[in-house]
Amino acid sequence: MTTVEDAPAGANDARGRVAELHAIREQARRGPSERATEAQRAKGKLTARERIDLLLDEGSFNEVEPLRRHRATGFGLEAKKPYTDGVVTGWGTVHGRTVFVYAHDFRIFGGALGEAHATKIHKIMDMAIQAGAPLVSLNDGAGARIQEGVSALAGYGGIFQRNTKASGVIPQISVMLGPCAGGAAYSPALTDFVFMVRETSQMFITGPDVVRAVTGEEITQNGLGGADVHAETSGVCHFAYDDEATCLEEVRYLLSLLPSNNRENPPTVDCEDPADRSGDVLLDLVPADGNRPYDMHKVIEEIVDDGEYLEVHERWATNIICALSRLDGRVVGIIANQPQSLAGVLDIEASEKAARFVQMCDAFNIPILTLLDVPGFLPGVDQEHGGIIRHGAKLLYAYCNATVPRISIVLRKAYGGAYIVMDSQSIGADLTYAWPTNEIAVMGAEGAAGVIFRRQIADAEDPDAMRARMVKEYKSELMHPYYAAERGLVDDVIDPADTRKVLIRSLEMLRTKHADLPARKHGNPPQ
């Protein structure tokens, strides 16, 4: 039996080289120092590798270029050349499906992007596009590495170009886990979904110091670009959570609802919730009186599998709901007016929110269900001057351009241009249904009567009584629940209790739908 001592010199040298390799790889895995790790944790943040471990299935991570180091000189960089160059890249699985990931390591150069750092990101993005698999970025970086100058900026340009190339091809998810300024904020804005963690993550183009120097305004990092600001005010953030573990678990859930790429359908799951389950409670959830509010979330919960759904932009433009859920185990995107917020009207922000969601669903082969209870567009000088025409047209364009299966249901009110924009039959909905509580019209009866019968009301001895009679007449002639069905503007008026069953059967029929758009480079949507 040959022992180590008896082995040829070359073999011993090989073992030494392997031992050296393991030592180097361990050094790369540990990071710069224990002190840097402690500083990261003192801020309530996990390390890059800990985050990757939470995101991916256990033991599935395969790292790419862990030994990469920068080649820059000057400003002391030649004396500081840590492995990974501040970003961990690779692939693994989430629920058994391949996912590519890169994670900034804030312990190294503050996660700032240099030439080698950017090249690693470029490579993993190219691999994700070529493999047709989702890309998740775990962002915790201080922007461009100033010591490397314009080379760092060019690195961002390569990332932006690849974000755009991958748009609508593979799902791109940005998870903000630290301060991300300047160029580090633009890449997430180009991706499909942005997650943030309260108190520890911020996004802004210019930080508080620059704002103070230029405008004199005093503001904190969180006040300028924290998770709540972007989740409620700017709409940049789709999801906000209190801690990193919850945030990354929700990223995993979102990935379970998305296909790997635009050539595949979203994954299906076995469903124990009966497809023909009756929704009798819906009759009590939605008041017949169009002026009474109710919570559309409860309607969605009653229709979808096991009452589960993932709401996108939950706290921004709350007068419209956008959510991903399942019907009989198959993923569906839901757009619904919310009567509890601004009576469910469409305004600038709601139109933008829904338009982007429709485009995402269409890009990734997710059927669209639209639940209508909309009294119209929000009137006002601010809305008109802010471009409600232009922004409302974004939603109209998105629906008209979508080729996935599209089903709409009028629960109650559907008035004016807002009815047309919300995926009416006339703009291409495959199937349109209505509940017997529906009111489809150009406008509400009171407003319509005031326009049509203005002179009669003004000349009447009792204007109030005349107005009431004219309102009743208008409703009976043009706003009864079957007016639209009689003219073929809806395919059927259904019992609300049958909504889930009707939707599942309709989606099953539409599963093989194929629709082509005219040959063109791309459209020119309203901006």
Cβ–Cβ under 8 Å, residues 374 and 418: yes
What's the CA gap between 322 and 151, in Å, rounded? 40
Check 417, 428, 447, 450 and give the catalytic one.
417
| DSSP-based three-state secondary structure for 521 | coil
Instruction: For residue 382, give the amino acid letter.
Output: D
The residues near 288 (Cβ < 8 Å, ≥ 6 apart) are 412, 437
Active-site pick, 92, 141, 183, 392: 183
Q: Measured between alpha carbons, how far is 522 from 115 in angstroms, rounded to an integer?
A: 33
Partner residues linked to 113 by β-bridges: 144
Is 392 an annotated catalytic residue?
Answer: no
Q: Give yes or no: 168 in active site.
A: no
Beta strands 135-139 and 97-104, pairing class: parallel
With CA atoms as reference, report the closest residue to 441 among 502, 495, 385, 490. 490
| Coil, strand or helix at 438 | coil
Provide the residue type at 503 as one letter: L
**CA separation for the pair 157, 255 (Å, rounded):** 27
- Using CB atoms within 10 A of its CB, is residue 25 exposed (0-12), middle (13-18) or buried (19+)? middle
Whether 181 is catalytic: no
Strand stretches in 39-198, DSSP E = 62-64, 87-94, 97-104, 135-139, 172-176, 179-181, 193-197
Q: Which of 182, 225, 290, 416 is catalytic?
A: 182
Asked about 223 being catalytic, the answer comes back as no
Torsion angle of the four alpha carbons 318, 321, 325, 328, in this order, in degrees rounded to the nearest 10: 140
E strands in 61-122: 62-64, 87-94, 97-104
- Dist CA 277 CA 436 (whole Å): 20
Q: What is the 3-state secondary structure (H, E, C) of 438-456?
A: CEEECCCHHHHHHHHCHHH
Read out DSSP for 257-315?
A: TS-SSTTSPPPP----S-TT---TTHHHHS-SSTTS---HHHHHHHHSGGG-EEEESTT
* Cα 56 from chain centroid (whole Å): 20
Q: How far is CA 388 from CA 4, 90, 231, 317, 322, in A?
A: 79, 43, 21, 14, 19
Give yes or no for a contact between 387 and 412, defined as CB atoms under 8 angstroms apart: no
28, 343, 398, 418: the catalytic one is 418
75 Cβ neighbours under 8 A, 6+ residues apart: 147
Q: Which positions are catalytic?
A: 182-183, 417-418
